[in-house]
Structure 1
């Protein structure tokens, strides 16, 4: 509905309304997705499956970058929104067809009450810290993806096509990081360790991306590594849902907590980077902002170590 309204929007207010509806649909889909995966996986495979599922963001993002370029090359933006609406309806219908009737399996108890689930999930301190770590990741990642095209044009005088292609490639590397992290969790690697490695790697590679003392090839290599290290965090955060959730019926609510964390990061990350860039006039000054975010992520991951151990022993 949101994309359809946007396709026929003739004012800024209508466009904002369409984006608001799309946001609700996106959040609802991501929260429900965790519950679907829980339904079809065993306890042993759940962390791995949730980790793989986390790659829907970079793969979808990269796919839309490529798809948008192709559609806009032969038509206008309204056609793009209509195509997006039709694609969404198709997948929604398919999901309904596959999952219809699942809600009738098994008995429901008090744990399915929304308020009870929310309170119970927020009492899991480890999960809240993981969500905060996820927020630090999202702030860095979305900022990089949003501002990298401008950075490429200003610093390297890159063409519009090249400036758009580089983020898409980094997103594919990000998906690779998702899968690596999921593979590691499937072999009993603790989530805190992956969060730590991802946050530390993001911080180090961003020093290279925004540094003025290394060559262009090295900067591109750092950007690709940034994608890989960053991809480790969403998989670990979403995979930790299976660790911290007290009951299977609360998987969706706990995943909602993780989604809330990443949405918070997306909200404050780009404005913070833009403010620093506008205030200093130099991209190199952004290093201290992104390094601070990465440092917070490192600290949060270490704090969750004993909490994850206790959750696994319960």
Structure 2
């Protein structure tokens, strides 16, 4: 019986528990990316890193995604999801423990590189196994929630740092972060061990059979979303600290509004097909395009605040709809891990190149130019999603939308 076929006698509770633990392990995976940011002053003052070196330490995990997520998806498809998650979890945990204990710059960077390999594997394998073990009506909602694992991970690392760093040394904080991940990953692996996956390792068609036009378009559109989102949240604190900002809430509150979009999308996509998900992404991009300029130009505090909150929530709606669509647009002889790898790699490239490009726009054209830049990126993402609408016209899930198991 496949993960999409459920009789009344089929035990749903263990599968639901596995999904919950995988999602929680995903949040703590994202937290390993964000855990360095609160420690940058410590790495500079105590370890002797320059600001650039500390920045590289924080960015290594994201750079691995930008460089190798697609090949990682192919490799994960070859060796299997469960084995990939186990390997990734062991590497991330080992690297995290080593990072907490490391004292020299060489040891610190070496530990972070080990973490990066594990992080790369988990960023592809965890959503792929969610797509595999979820019933068909759960796939979209579960992947919509998964899409928020990085911002939720950053928020988690920030809150734990806020609670621990005034009382404990940074190594204790780093050790806590990795142990929390290890506990959740172990629980997820234990729960998944009793659930059969739909396809054995290496049973799918690989890269050539996966990279259909819809998959490529969603990947490019996701890259556009990441450029928009990362650029906005990277420079929003600077904007808020300046004289031109009129928001009624802090940049942190705006960031905390992102899960609203993830949850909303998870509700909306339940029982829907790829066409509806594409329309939801188009709607989200349209809202982003319409609100980006007002958010960074309006002097009215209420309108500016509403605009920036709509911009943040609509972006989350876009990402959630795109991730939810992946198993539905992957060709039947293709591979969901490979498709996820391509989408993640496009997002990683957006993470690397988006902020420098946005910074050059701010320097040349000011904050109004920044708003127009974000709006233009949203329009580009919207344009990438439009061809998918004609290919998947049905709003409800149909036979054409039947998801391909990994």
**TM interval, short-chain normalised:** 0.7 to 0.9
Where does 1:96-175 land on structure 2 (aligned, <5 Å)?
Answer: 96-100=189-193, 102=195, 108=200, 111-112=203-204, 116-122=205-211, 124-155=212-243, 166-175=250-259
Change (3 A) 1:50 1:168: same
Change (3 A) 1:298 1:240: same
The answer as to 2:120 corresponding to 1:34 is no
Match of 1:205 in 2: 291
Separation in structure 1 between the aligned mates of residue 145 and residue 159 of structure 2, nearest angstrom: 22
**TM superposition shift of 1:179:** 1.6
Higher relative CO (CA 8 A, sep ≥ 6), structure 1 or 2? 1
Where does 1:12-31 land on structure 2 (aligned, <5 Å)?
Answer: 12-31=105-124
Separation in structure 1 between the aligned mates of residue 380 and residue 302 of structure 2, nearest angstrom: 29
Change (3 A) 1:284 1:96: same
TM superposition score normalised by structure 1: 0.84
**TM superposition shift of 1:89:** 1.6
**TM superposition shift of 1:141:** 0.7
1:255 to 340, 343, 351: 340
Where does 1:170-181 land on structure 2 (aligned, <5 Å)?
Answer: 170-181=254-265
Change (3 A) 1:208 1:11: farther
**TM superposition shift of 1:140:** 1.0
Question: Can you list the C-alpha shifts for 1:96-130, whole angstroms capped at 9, x where unaligned?
Answer: 22222546x67737534xxx4222211x1111101
Match of 2:277 in 1: 191
**TM superposition shift of 1:24:** 2.9
**TM superposition shift of 1:292:** 1.5
Counterpart secondary structure, 1:73? coil
Contact 1:61 1:171 (8 Å CA) reproduced = no
Contact 2:210 2:333 (8 Å CA) reproduced = no
Counterpart secondary structure, 2:206? helix
Separation in structure 2 between the aligned mates of residue 157 and residue 289 of structure 1, nearest angstrom: 17
1:264 to 329, 349, 353: 349
Number of aligned residues: 303
Match of 1:58 in 2: 151
Separation in structure 2 between the aligned mates of residue 290 and residue 14 of structure 1, nearest angstrom: 39
Separation in structure 1 between the aligned mates of residue 391 and residue 111 of structure 2, nearest angstrom: 40
**TM superposition shift of 1:14:** 4.3
2:391 to 289, 297, 307: 307
Separation in structure 2 between the aligned mates of residue 40 and residue 47 of structure 1, nearest angstrom: 12
The answer as to 2:328 corresponding to 1:236 is no
Per mean C-alpha deviation after superposition, the further-off stretch among 145-154 and 18-27 is 18-27
Change (3 A) 1:148 1:277: same
The answer for unaligned runs of 5 or more in structure 2 is 1-93, 402-406
Match of 1:83 in 2: 176
The answer for unaligned runs of 5 or more in structure 1 is none
**TM superposition shift of 1:239:** 0.8
Match of 1:294 in 2: 378
TM superposition score normalised by structure 2: 0.67
Change (3 A) 1:261 1:154: same
Counterpart secondary structure, 1:240? helix
